[in-house]
Amino acid sequence: MQLDPEGEDDELDQEDEWQLYASADYASSEIGLDEKESEEDKPVETWFDGDDFDFEGSAVNWDSPPCPAPLGIAHVIKIGVCDHCLSRISGIRSRDIGSDSGAAIRDEAYSRDRELQSMIIQDYCPLCENLFDDIENIVDRVLETLSDTDFSTIQFGIHLPKDLLQEEDRIRTKYGAPGSYHLKGAIVEAIHERIREQDSEVDFVKEKPDVMVLVDGLTLRVDVDVRPIFLYGRYRKIERGIPQTRWPCRACRGRAVGCDSCEGTGLQYVDSVQDLIGEPIREALFAEDTSFHGMGREDIDVRCLGTGRPFVLEVKSPVKRKLPVEDLVEMVRSKAAGKVEVDELSWCTRKKINEVKQSRSEKTYSIRFKAEGIDDYEKAKESILSLSGQILDQETPKRVSHRRAAKTRRRKIISIENVYFEDDEVEITLRCEAGTYVKELVHSDEGRTKPSVQAVLGKECEVKWLDVLEIHAD
């Protein structure tokens, strides 16, 4: 009797939406200005070079040369660029970086033109709107948000207003030095540098980070996504009546507050392999939740013995990322004693989930069933052994038809051995191809599995219990 619901596989390797703003080569902004004016809307006479920008009533002189020409440097200073932006668009190399480099370039320009300082048009930078002045504030917010979280790698992104990026790109590409650094990349790099000054062991990566940070450049809000960690192991389920994953209450469908039927737990069964293993680990790592990815699953009334069933435990949003796996194993043993056993665990990556899920491993089973009226045990044994090596045609069993596609599956019985009789009960050991419905192999599911033990014996068979003795995954 199958009681365990089929769990849906978590979708793997999904791209987080916020990464659209990350620093991994997403920062450049190319603005199309190819809109054509209709003939009737086109001015009769328009004589100008470039775009006609106004900065607080004073027109930008677009006839000036681009940086790093001295006149170009003077002109971007006039329109009010800050020291950070002056450094990144000037095209002048300096031993200093950031605002220090820009300040040195500005001082040199002032020495060439003593009237230049009085000609600055506006108080805020038209390229960054003085966002570089908020770097310290942003870094403080990031580090405060992550103050209790273990991490060694970060992927960092920043979301800037579209109109700011457009204006910055238009001015920089027209007036900055060729190949000058774009705004988003420069801000992210400045944040990286400031964080490194406070924590020299942090690495900034473009993939597989411990934490992902997204900053809103308009509100300076910091959003942190702590990435999951993964543990690989094999479990033995030594007590029947335990589902592999959480089974929501049928009455309340797993509502947070539960109902009288589930006594407020929201679960049909209080224990599951997922929680017996995952809960002590979740608590130890101060994580939000877990997901359980097994190499198939046994029915709720079936034990899983031998070396156990391979699985990957996904631990979501852990505050602590690294504890000795030996300690975690001991925590599981204490929590799951007498129900589930795990001998060892190892850290792995998300890729391991695919390996576990896609494996098609043969399995060895022991099954006991009742078959009344057998009077010739030797003949019955020969009939059962005749199924060894046979190919089965198995229609989708009735017990899983509500969640499995209706089709006929072909599976092979690799071997049958150890046929044992006790009164009107029979116990056999058999090895089958992955995906074989072993219970149906015995009782035939009203003829939906052909051939079957029931058919070759000519006796009605009733399954008493089933054990998975070994999963041949290695």
Tokens 């620093």 identify what position? 23
Q: Say how many CA atoms lie within 13 Å of 212 toward its Cβ.
A: 19
121, burial (CB in 10 Å: exposed 0-12, middle 13-18, buried 19+) = middle
**Rounded-to-integer distance, Cα 62 and Cα 53, Å:** 9
- DSSP assigned state of 400: G
d(C-alpha 459, C-alpha 372), whole Å: 7
Q: 416 and 428 in contact (C-beta within 8 Å)?
A: yes
| CB burial readout 178-197, b (16+ within 10 A) else e | eebbbbbbbbbbbbbebbee
Q: Which amino acid is at 41?
A: D
Max CA distance (Å), the chain:
116
Q: Which of 4, 210, 275, 299 is catalytic?
A: 299
Length of the chain: 474
Compute the distance between CA of residue 175 and CA of residue 60 in angstroms, rounded to an integer: 11
How many CA atoms lie within 13 Å of 213's alpha carbon, on the beta-carbon side? 27
Question: What CA–CA distance (Å, rounded) separates 115 from 103?
Answer: 17
Q: Phi-psi bin for 6: left (phi > 0), alpha (psi -120 to 50), beta?
A: beta
Tokens for 371, please give them.
């078959």
**Which residue, chain included where needed, has tokens 């796996």?**
325
Task: Centre a 10 Å sphere on the Cβ of residue 442 and count the other Cβ atoms it contains.
Answer: 26
Least Cα distance to 164 among 119, 216, 206, 88 occurs for: 216
319 touches 286 (CB < 8 A): yes
Check residue 90 and give left, alpha or beta (phi > 0: left; psi -120 to 50: alpha): alpha
| Vertex 423: Cα angle to 419 and 425 (nearest 5) | 55
299 is catalytic: yes
Torsion of CA 23, 25, 26, 32, to 10 degrees: 140
Strands 153-159 and 211-216: parallel
Q: Which helix (H) or strand (E) holds 456?
A: helix 453-457
- Chain-centre distance for alpha carbon 257: 28
Q: What are the residue numbers of the active site?
A: 299
